[in-house]
Amino acid sequence: MLRLVSLARWIGDAREWLMLLALAGLAAGTYAYARTVAADRDAWAAWAKQVCAFAGTSTDPATVEVATDRGKRRVAKERGQRCSEAVQDLVAFKAGAQASTAKVLSEAESARQDKTNTDIGTAAGNAADRRRAATNMEKLDAQVGDDDRVDGNWFAGINDLGGLR
């Protein structure tokens, strides 16, 4: 019987120790999670400060003057609001610059294509003129007699063949 009472006491003591260990583990886990959350928060805050610095502002609240239709008035900006507006302005500028660049590039490509088509047409016409002039010169050469005397038509054919006409 004594052994059963000792065992019951030991189980009761063990239950208290196990409960204490479970609470200590839960507290350690909660502390570790809180430190992770704090580290993430600090990392995001550092990132936000860096982005705001790149945008030329800060995350601090401020009072700024705003132009309205009735003149200038002072407006209180909340923490991070100036930075958010600056980043939005930069994003809008980037989008506008990309759209303008795309428009200029497409217009330049269209002009280049028009010039290419014109050059192709001109080259085809020039090639046809050269073939015609060569054929004409062959006919004129065939008309030259045994005395090798040529007339003005032959010289005109030479000029036409050389592109001087």
DSSP labels, 98-123: HHHHHHHHHHHHHHHHHHHHHHHHHH
| Res 90: pLDDT | 95
**In a 10 Å sphere around its CB, with 0-12 CB exposed, 13-18 middle and 19+ buried, how is residue 83 labelled?**
buried
The mean pLDDT of the chain is 88
Better pLDDT: 8 or 163: 163
Residue 25: band (very low, low, confident or very high) from pLDDT cuts 50, 70, 90: very high
pTM score above 0.85: no
**Tens digit of pLDDT for each residue in 132-155?**
999 999 998 888 877 888 888 888
Residue 7: band (very low, low, confident or very high) from pLDDT cuts 50, 70, 90: low
